[in-house]
Homo-oligomer: A and B are copies of this chain.
Amino acid sequence: MKALLFPLGLLGLIALGRLLSLAEAEPPAASTSPFAGGRWIDLTHEFAADTLYWPTAQRFQLEVESRAMTPKGYFYAANRYRASEHGGTHIDAPIHFAEKGKTVDQLPVDQLMGPAVVVDVSAQAAADADYQVNVADFEAWEKAHGLLPQGIIVLLRTGYAKRWPDPKTYLGTEQRGAEAVPQLHFPGLHPDAARWLVAQRSIKAIGLDTASIDRGQSSLFESHRILLEQNIPAFENVGDMSLLPATGAHIIALPMKIKEGSGGPLRIVAWVPGAL
């Protein structure tokens, strides 16, 4: 009988504690987040005057409208921004290279979120600025980690994010204009691997930490065309992925919702399980 009374007494005390807590108007903790037990890593470069763009594209500009006290006695800051869609950390919407592909506002948000894998080719990319990630790189990854899961977001880590925003080492040239385009040197995805991903696997989206999913020396942009024709968007100029595990990260990549946009600024973050 004593053994039964004890737990009832304990429950009573807990109930009393809750009542007292309400009486003191102590707000309860927010309900458990689906992302408890992990942390967020921001994979987005800032938009600023030195943000890298294609040599022929309009760079980012911020025009200050106000950053001062007003006559009414309060501080007020506001700016205007302008840029090309395809610079900085951004998304290529399918229509960028596919006439019937989706515009950026037509991409469903659940295609831009979900579990991700990281294929690390930073050693190859460090040795060869014209490196193309090929089927063998994916096969090696699968040998270690299992087949690419259906609906996965694939991230290619070339290590180039650490060179950002130095145009000479990140793009291969600090020159601007059409004459600079043949001097672009940075790694990308080989068209054979793009075809393999489209035909043999089922991915939601792909991203990498260089300026383009096709390498700098590409002139036909075949990997773009292969992926975007299948409505698989590409995230470009993604930030440093060195803290992401090969599997287990969760990506949320939300672009500016530009109506009929061929792409645009992207905020991309990764949730990684475990403490810092």
Q: In the complex, which residue of chain B has the Cβ closest to the Cβ of A271?
A: B34
A78 touches B84 (CB 8 A): yes
Query: Cβ of A172 < 8 Å from any Cβ of B?
Result: no
B81 touches A27 (CB 8 A): no
Inter-chain CA distance A109–B201, complex, in Å, is: 32
B96 touches A31 (CB 8 A): no
Chain A residues 1-55 with CB under 8 Å of chain B are: 22, 25-31, 33-35, 40, 42, 44-48
A27 touches B76 (CB 8 A): no
Residue from the list B78, B79, B248, B259 in contact with A48, Cβ < 8 A: B259
Copies of this chain held together in the complex: 2
Q: In the complex, which residue of chain B has the Cβ closest to the Cβ of A21?
A: B147
B74 touches A80 (CB 8 A): no
B80 touches A83 (CB 8 A): yes
Inter-chain CA distance A146–B150, complex, in Å, is: 41
Chain A residues 74-92 with CB under 8 Å of chain B are: 74-86, 89
Query: Cβ of A215 < 8 Å from any Cβ of B?
Result: no
Query: What B residues does A193 contact at CB under 8 A?
Result: none
Inter-chain CA distance A258–B266, complex, in Å, is: 11
Query: What B residues does A74 contact at CB under 8 A?
Result: 97, 220-221, 225
B30 touches A150 (CB 8 A): yes
Q: In the complex, which residue of chain B has the Cβ closest to the Cβ of A250?
A: B34
A selection of 19 A-B contacts at a CB cut-off of 8 Å is: A22-B147, A27-B149, A28-B147, A30-B114, A31-B115, A31-B149, A31-B247, A33-B115, A34-B34, A34-B35, A46-B105, A62-B259, A62-B260, A74-B220, A78-B263, A79-B85, A82-B83, A109-B269, A252-B252
